[in-house]
Structures are given as structure tokens and as C-alpha cells.
Structure 1
């Protein structure tokens, strides 16, 4: 079944009028995945810098109560829900500090600090704000665009959930409809819901079937402002059950290759591991052959080490690399 939406629906997901118009033109969509692919293409390839700035300005400052000054009441409600954990964990002093750092950030970068706040505490958001404040403007602008896409994906899931689970006028059991709608919402937005939050809510939803491997990556060349194609990528896992890789340890021979690929014209790697429902908990390493891509650069290669815990095995881990000849940054995406 194909689902159609209007511009105002997509404007609630992303405050760029160009994005909303292009998405409405691409509608209807046969599935959530088709809509997500279209959204990423439109956001990164069709929306210009002015459109990005327009979307950024539609967001309230982190720590402030959202209003419907831009987009719609729906957007304001979604924003409030996304910041619910931050508000629940905030104190008077932490909100004051957050406000001060927000002001410093805006003065340096000229935009509101943008982060996908869903499930994040005030302390986590504040720590990330302080870390990103040290970035160069060109790097931070790219990160803000990526965070906007994460928020848009989350809201598209809510939009599809509302449409797909709208109650039928002939349904005589509204309680059943509500339960089905809630289950559908979990399946659609499953990538953003952790097993831990399901347990704490006292619900027993089944985990969604994956359509991509648990670990993915892409590379952006921030010096050129374009995807980095042709970079060899290798995914490894630490296999020694008696020890952990630690700073200063010699760990030759303990890393086991899970898969390798080369980034395509969009900077995305191919499949680095099998598509499995649950990832094996453990410590992973993604390495990039940056020296071959940029022989005159400072880094012969880049390795990113991260850990997947038992409680996170159903989650998705997107670990991108933002690269320039003399600096790089990364983060956990979705």
C-alpha cells in the first residue's frame, strides 16, 4: 500500500520548505525505507545551504520549551517529546549552564546547537555541546546537517506510524486499534528504541527485522564538501574473551576481520557484515585507508574503536568518518 502525504506533513519533519516540497513531489511512498532513501537524497543533494539554515532555525534551543513558531503544532509536540528525557533530568543549574553554552555556540557558529536529543539526558547533551564547540565551523555545519537528518528520520517514522495505523471507521474495537497502532509504531521506529527502554516501560514488543547490517559507515570529505569515494574500509572484532584492548597494550593478532568494502560515489561502504537481527556484543574497530585516498594528508589510516554492549545488541550502529587532510571526527549515528 502506497502512502501519500502533503507538504505540511514533511515540513513538520524538517523545517526546510524545499525539503517538504521535494518530498511531497516524490510521494506516495511504498514503504518507510523508500521514504527514508528519498529524504536522504533530497536533504544532502537537493536542499542548498539556505534550506539547511531554514531547517536549523525551525528548532528550539535545546533546554527551552518548543513553540509552533515554525512548521506546525505537530512539530512542536514532537520536539517536546524528543527533549522529554533532557527535561526530566534537568536541574536549575544544569539548565542555566546549558543556556550559557547555547549562547556561546550560537555566537561562534551562527546557528542553534542541533542534536538528536531523543533519549539523551541534560548532562549528555551538555557534554556533547562542549565537545562540539571545539570544532571548526565547516566541520560543525556538516555535523548539524547530519543531526538534522537523524531527527527527520525519527519524525518520518512517527508520520508513517500515524498514517499506517489510522483507525478504520468500521472498526468496533478502538482498544484493539490503539494496541495495533502502538505495536506498528515500535516496528517502524524500532531503530530509535532500545531494548532497555522497552523493558523499563513494561512492554514486550518484538524486535524489528533488520534491512541492513547492524554496523554501517560512510565517509565525507569535509575539505572538498563531498562524499569520499574509493576508500577501503575494514571492520574487525576483538575476539580474546580473557582480555580487552586497552590503551598501550599490544593487540596484534587479537582483532578478527568481519568484512571489508570500498566506499561508493556517495561515500557509503558496502556490506561489512551479515544482516543479522542481533549483533554480537563486544569491541569493534572500523579502519579506513585514508593514506591511499589522500597521500599528502597527515593520517596514513584512521581506526575507530567502539563497544556494543549486551543491552544494545538490537540497536543499529552507524559510525561515519568526517575527514580532512589534517583532522577527522566521528560520532555514533543511527
Structure 2
């Protein structure tokens, strides 16, 4: 058997997949993945909401309530389904998708039909299979974790695991059922180069073994090593604006710290908007489940245009620095 396949006849993880898996080992990369979760405000009291349209027209009343409930059931979060509201479900889906899409380069989901309990007041058309009951199907999305998926072009296998994580078998996933979320190719390549450099820098960060150099009397300074490590990370992360919660900008001026915060907020919005565009395209493919083309749109969250205004305010001094910083961190 070819060395590209395991004993079960399944393709081994590609070199690209193994490299992407290794990125999770970096301290800074894990911190970035955590901070990517702030794509919408955590506090619902901030006044943001999700507007729902059907065939381009905003819907309300019982139809809207039914669609919002079904979409909330369809979207997976980090560790559970079935959020009470569409806003909570969509926020959880964004957090789950963003970390995989940025760190791994893509987030793959299996789209499937799941049965649902329809409201008692439902007055839809009876189904062909059971004239006494309407069709009880809804969309479901399940993350295809890269660590548990083998694939060749057009072919996918998902691992079947126990509660302890032990693989007991594999099931084939039809190609037409796989939905992929990813940034444009040029942006993916840029982020991949950044994260590989960050991983290398983290592996060379000061460790507890540094005291051995001091004990031996070698010309070594932990403070200087840490400073150079932070300098490398700050330069590499500049295109994303990420400052590792201030660790990479603690020796810089306040205006530059605010500039990095705004730039990272712009990157978060770029990721959020990309996920939303791709989610709406995926929902359009299953319009038959919802009686039309469903569209989800945020209302009351920070937009790319507002972030650009914050950059202009910073450059011109139109607003106080504290206000610009607060607005940049709101989400």
C-alpha cells in the first residue's frame, strides 16, 4: 500500500494539514484564536441584533419566529447546539468558525437534514410521505475537524470517536454535503506565513532553562531575550494589527497602541463579514427547506466603514484618544 495511505486504506493527513495542526502549539497563536472570538459584542445589552430576510424582504411575526428558531438549531457553537436565540447561536457559530478559518486556513462543515419538532400552531402543507403531518426537516451543520478528517479531492472521511476521543471507525461524507468557509487565497497565504513565523518565534521564546546560561556565566539577558521576542512578534503581526492583549505594544506610545487595536478590529470585522457572506450563500443552496432564500444581517455592530472613520479620527485628532480606544474595543 502506498505510504500516502494508512492501514485502513484512508489518505494520511497532508503535509499542509500537519503544518496547520502544529500552529495550535504556539502560545501566541492560541491567544490569537481566543481573541478572534470577539467578532460581535459579548454583551447583548449593547443593542445589536440579527435581521432576517426571506427572498430579500424582512419578515416578522410567526414566520420570522419559526425561521429564527430553526436557524438557531442549525448553527453549531464550540460545544453545544440549540441556543435560545438566533443572536446567541450566530455569535457562537462565528466564534467556532473564525478560529478554524484563520488558524487552519479553512473551516469545513457537513450540511445535513435533521428532524425538528414543529410548533403546534404550524399550518404548513402536509408532506407527501405522511399527509397528516408536515415535513419535519431542518438544516444542520457539523464541524469537520481537520484533526478528524481525511480527504482527497472530492472525497471526505470523518472519524467516528468515543467520548474519550479514540477513533473507532470512519464514515464517508458526500462531497456535495461539505460547506467550506475560508478567506480569499491571497489573504490565506499571508496569514499562513505570519502564523508559521509566530510559531517559530514562540519556540525560541525565553524558558526556564535560561537560568542555566546565567549559572554558567554566559553573556545572556532574559530581559533582552524577551524584548527581542516581543519585537519579532510585533513586526510579524503588524498586517493583522494583533498586539497579544498589549504584550507586544507595552513599550510603544499610546497612539500606536490604539492604532494596533483599530487595525485588529478591522481584521476581526473582515473575518466576520467573510463568514456571514459565505453562510448566506450556503443558506441560499437550501432555500427549499425554508420556503425561500434566507438572509442574515447584523444590525448595531461595528462596521468596516466605522473602523475606517476611527483611523481617520486618530490621524486628525478629531476625537479624544480615550474615546477612539473605547470605540475600537466595543465590537
Tell whether the structures are fold-level matches, with TM greater than 0.5. Answer: no
- Structure with the greater alpha carbon radius of gyration: 2
Give the structure with the higher percent helix. 2
**Greater RCO between the two (CA within 8 Å, min separation 6)?**
2
TM-score (normalised: structure 2) = 0.29
